[in-house]
A = this chain, B = another copy of it.
Amino acid sequence: MDPLLQSLIIENDKKIVLLVLDGVGGLPAEKNGKTELETAKIPNLDNLARESECGLHLPIDYGITPGSAPGHLALFGYAPLSFPIGRGVVAAMGIGFPMKAGDVAVRVNFATSDASGNITDRRAGRIPTEKCDELCKLLSKVNIPGIEVFVQPVKDYRACAVFRGPGLSDHVADTDTQKVNEKPLDPKPTSEKGKKTAETAKEFIRQARELLKNEKPANDLLMRGFAELPHIPSMKDRFRLDPMAIAVYPDYKGVSRLVGMTVEDSCTDLAAQMSALKNNWEKHTFFFIHHKYTDSKGEDGDFAAKVAEIEKVDKIIPEILKLKPDVLIVTGDHSTPAIMKSHSSHPVPFLINAANIRADETTAFGERECAKGLWGIIKSPILMQIALAYADKILKFGA
């Protein structure tokens, strides 16, 4: 958002709800067929679409597949190319680790390697979080002179390491080749600045392998996304919103913390998320509600299960509407077509509902219906501008 336009933003009590079905955008399972969203029985969302303004949004750019962090940043009103966030930071923020300026965080995946050091399972048989916790405690024995090392569990086989000390930087390449039957790479600096961190990480891995050598299946580890804390203005400073995140998964809490959201940390399912929304309704002016499993089922390639997750979200719509949000956006952070088993570049359907709108001719909440919506295809951060406007939070520009 242009700084001049940003200066027009005012604070008021009106409430904006952003409901994100992670990876909701999809593709037909067969030629001329329907997408997941077009298949789902979602009477509440379809009704809402009929009374809303609809369109498709692009988190980053045409043809670009968004990761989760930039996908969400874009929905929060931040152009992702202007605010790159490394994977390590997303992981650290997700578990609420209090990173400081100069810290370097990195995502650690526990893995299995064979006698010759080749990776045989990049996820160590998807060990449970409890086991991950235990291994992280074991790794706290790593001792690197002059550097503080923090190792904390994230979820399943995923952990996060943070290095703290002078002269560190995130100019270090991943050790994870993303392939099996290969040795992991040594951490290598990508510039002179990354030298000390690369050496630190190398020593960490050496000691960690020693500590893990008798573990089964998690006798090895992979590192991805060395990252320093980026400088991102808060939603309070940028949009004069008092935002709250109501999410289940750590990574999404992490991105929310990066933009200064209050994070509801206790929810484990949609019902709890709805209770949290009700209980905190008077306290905030922006609510981000996140449902992860649409994306997970898409990544699994399970079309029917993704459809079922979409239908679950449909059922909470009346509860949200009962609170009478001034603006309600329903959308995804990117597409995750089940037939692709991955995120994709396809634009994401959205609806925006508010008092003063021109409901368009969209008759259902789906990719091709939203393509007929009045907004056409827009870059995702524009959604926040429209939401602020429809919540009467932007003054007139010019006399």
CA distance A396 to B357 in the complex (A): 35
Q: Please name 6 pairs of A and B residues whose Cβ atoms are closer than 8 Å in the assembled complex, sorted by A.
A: A63-B382, A63-B390, A80-B397, A346-B358, A360-B368, A374-B377
* Contact across chains for A60 and B5 when beta carbons are under 8 A apart: yes
* Contact across chains for A374 and B56 when beta carbons are under 8 A apart: yes
Known contacts A374-B368, A399-B225; is-contact A357 B27 (Cβ 8 Å)? yes
Distance (Å) between the CB of A216 and the closest chain B CB?
29
Q: Which residues of B contact A346 (CB under 8 A)?
A: 356, 358
Excluding A66-B398, A346-B358, 18 further A-B contacts by CB distance (< 8 Å) are A31-B51, A60-B398, A62-B382, A62-B386, A62-B389, A63-B382, A63-B386, A63-B387, A63-B389, A65-B397, A66-B397, A67-B399, A70-B397, A71-B398, A85-B399, A87-B399, A344-B356, A375-B377
Residue A337 at the chain B interface, CB threshold 8 Å: yes
Closest to A337 in B: B356
Distance (Å) between the CB of A276 and the closest chain B CB?
26
* Contact across chains for A32 and B51 when beta carbons are under 8 A apart: yes
Interface members, chain A 3-37 (any B CB < 8 Å): 4-5, 8, 27-28, 31-32, 35
Closest to A50 in B: B32
Q: Which residues of B contact A367 (CB under 8 A)?
A: 358
Known contacts A356-B340, A394-B64; is-contact A4 B385 (Cβ 8 Å)? no
Residue A184 at the chain B interface, CB threshold 8 Å: no
Distance (Å) between the CB of A250 and the closest chain B CB?
12
* Contact across chains for A61 and B31 when beta carbons are under 8 A apart: no
Query: Secondary structure of the A side of the interface?
Result: loop
Interface members, chain A 35-74 (any B CB < 8 Å): 35, 51, 56, 60-71
Could you say which of B27, B378, B397 contacts A356, with CB atoms under 8 Å apart? B27
Residue A109 at the chain B interface, CB threshold 8 Å: no
Q: Which residues of B contact A300 (CB under 8 A)?
A: none
Residue A154 at the chain B interface, CB threshold 8 Å: no
Distance (Å) between the CB of A79 and the closest chain B CB?
11
Could you say which of B35, B80, B347, B361 contacts A368, with CB atoms under 8 Å apart? B361
* Contact across chains for B389 and A343 when beta carbons are under 8 A apart: no
Distance (Å) between the CB of A375 and the closest chain B CB?
7
Residue A301 at the chain B interface, CB threshold 8 Å: no
Distance (Å) between the CB of A63 and the closest chain B CB?
3
CA distance A382 to B377 in the complex (A): 13
Could you say which of B68, B347, B358 contacts A399, with CB atoms under 8 Å apart? B68
Residue A128 at the chain B interface, CB threshold 8 Å: no
| Residue with the highest number of chain B CB atoms closer than 10 Å, among A5, A80, A382 | A5
CA distance A212 to B67 in the complex (A): 65
CA distance A68 to B382 in the complex (A): 23
Interface members, chain A 359-376 (any B CB < 8 Å): 359-361, 367-368, 371, 374-376
Known contacts A339-B356, A358-B28, A396-B343; is-contact A385 B51 (Cβ 8 Å)? no
| Residue with the highest number of chain B CB atoms closer than 10 Å, among A344, A374, A390 | A374
Residue A246 at the chain B interface, CB threshold 8 Å: no
* Contact across chains for B356 and A389 when beta carbons are under 8 A apart: no
